[in-house]
Structure 1
Amino acid sequence: MGTGAVTGTADLADLYRDLHQHPELSFAETRTSGIVAARLRAAGLETTEAVGRTGVVGVLRNGPGPTVLLRADMDALPMEERTGLPYASRQRGIDRDGNDVPVAHSCGHDVHVTCLIGAVRELAHDRSWQGTVLVVFQPAEEFGEGAQAMVDDGLYDRFGRPEVVLGQHVAPFPAGHLAVRPGPAFAAADGVRVVLHGRGGHGSRPETTVDPVVMAAATVLRLQTIVSREIGGTETAVVTVGALRAGTKENIIPDEAELLISTRTFEPDVRRRTLDAIERIVRAEASASGAEQAPTITVLHGFPAVVNEPGAVARTRPAFEALVGPARVFDPGLVTGSEDVGLLAAAAGAPCVFWLLGGADPAQFEDARSAEAVMARVAEMPSNHSPLFAPVIEPTLTTGVGALVAAARTWLHAEEPAAAGAD
Structure 2
Amino acid sequence: MAIDDSTGTAAPADVVLAGLPEIRSELEDVYRDLHAHPELGHQEHRTAARVAERLTEWGYRVHAGVGGTGVVGVLANGDGPVVLLRADMDALPVREDTGLPYASTATATDASGRDVPVAHACGHDMHVTCLLGAARLMAASPTSWQGTLVALFQPAEEPGDGADRMLADGLADRVPRPDVAFAQHVLPYPAGTLGTRSGSFLSAADNLKITVHGRGAHGSAPQAAIDPVVMASMIVVRLQTIVSRELAATEPAVLTVGSVHAGTTGNVIPDTAEIQLNVRTYDEGTREAVLAAVRRIVTAECDASRATRDPQYEEGGRFPPTVNDEAVTADVSAAFTAYFGERARTSALQSASEDFSRIPDAFGTPYTYWGIGCTDPDAYRAAERRGTVAQDIPVNHSARFAPVLQPTLDTGVQALVVASLTRLARPDDRRG
Q: TM-score range by the shorter chain?
A: over 0.9
- In the other structure, the counterpart of 1:280 is 296
Distance 1:177 1:378 in 2: 18
Question: Could you say what secondary structure the match of 2:328 adopts?
Answer: helix
Equivalence map 1:392-407=2 (5 Å): 392-407=404-419
Kept in 2, the 8 Å contact 1:66–1:413? The answer is no
- In the other structure, the counterpart of 1:218 is 234
Taking structure 1 as reference, are residues 25 and 375 closer, same or farther at Cα in structure 2, changes over 3 Å only? farther
- In the other structure, the counterpart of 1:85 is 100
Kept in 2, the 8 Å contact 1:108–1:391? The answer is yes
Kept in 2, the 8 Å contact 1:201–1:253? The answer is yes
- In the other structure, the counterpart of 1:349 is 364
1:72 aligns with 2:84: no
Kept in 2, the 8 Å contact 1:365–1:374? The answer is no
Unaligned runs of 5+ in 1: 418-423
1:144 deviates by 1.6
- In the other structure, the counterpart of 2:182 is 166
Identify the match of residue 228 of structure 1 among 236, 241, 244: 244
1:375 deviates by 8.9
- In the other structure, the counterpart of 2:426 is 414
Equivalence map 1:196-215=2 (5 Å): 196-215=212-231
C-alpha RMSD of matched pairs (Å): 2.0
Q: Could you report, residue by residue, the CA deviation over 1:102-156 in whole angstroms, capped at 9, with x for unpaired residues?
A: 2221111111111111111111111210000111111111112111221222212
1:61 deviates by 0.9
- In the other structure, the counterpart of 2:132 is 117
- In the other structure, the counterpart of 1:304 is 320
Between 1:94-103 and 1:25-34, the stretch displaced more is 94-103
Kept in 2, the 8 Å contact 1:172–1:378? The answer is no
Unaligned runs of 5+ in 2: 1-11
1:15 aligns with 2:38: no
Q: Could you report, residue by residue, the CA deviation over 1:139-183 in whole angstroms, capped at 9, with x for unpaired residues?
A: 111112111221222212221110111010001111110011001
Distance 1:123 1:106 in 2: 29
Kept in 2, the 8 Å contact 1:68–1:162? The answer is yes
Identify the match of residue 362 of structure 1 among 377, 386, 396: 377
- In the other structure, the counterpart of 1:151 is 167
Distance 2:382 2:299 in 1: 51
1:388 aligns with 2:404: no
- In the other structure, the counterpart of 1:246 is 262
Q: Could you report, residue by residue, the CA deviation over 1:356-411 in whole angstroms, capped at 9, with x for unpaired residues?
A: 0110011224558xxx8699636641101111112100110011011001101111
Kept in 1, the 8 Å contact 2:63–2:174? The answer is no
Taking structure 1 as reference, are residues 393 and 346 closer, same or farther at Cα in structure 2, changes over 3 Å only? same
Kept in 1, the 8 Å contact 2:253–2:280? The answer is yes
- In the other structure, the counterpart of 1:421 is none
- In the other structure, the counterpart of 1:100 is 115
TM-score w.r.t. length of structure 1: 0.93
Between 1:189-198 and 1:390-399, the stretch displaced more is 189-198
Kept in 1, the 8 Å contact 2:380–2:393? The answer is no
Kept in 1, the 8 Å contact 2:257–2:276? The answer is yes
Question: Could you say what secondary structure the match of 2:257 adopts?
Answer: strand
- In the other structure, the counterpart of 2:279 is 263
How many residues are paired up? 413
Distance 2:382 2:103 in 1: 29
Kept in 2, the 8 Å contact 1:173–1:378? The answer is no
- In the other structure, the counterpart of 2:203 is 187
1:333 deviates by 2.0
Taking structure 1 as reference, are residues 40 and 264 closer, same or farther at Cα in structure 2, changes over 3 Å only? same
- In the other structure, the counterpart of 1:62 is 77
Kept in 2, the 8 Å contact 1:65–1:413? The answer is no
Taking structure 1 as reference, are residues 378 and 169 closer, same or farther at Cα in structure 2, changes over 3 Å only? farther
Amino acid at match of 1:46: R
Q: Could you report, residue by residue, the CA deviation over 1:311-359 in whole angstroms, capped at 9, with x for unpaired residues?
A: 111111122223322x111112211111111111211111111000110
Distance 2:33 2:420 in 1: 26
Task: Name the % identity.
Answer: 50
1:296 deviates by 1.7
Amino acid at match of 1:175: A
Amino acid at match of 2:179: E
Distance 2:199 2:94 in 1: 32
Distance 1:215 1:336 in 2: 29
Distance 1:344 1:86 in 2: 36
Identify the match of residue 57 of structure 2 among 35, 38, 42: 42
Kept in 1, the 8 Å contact 2:259–2:275? The answer is yes
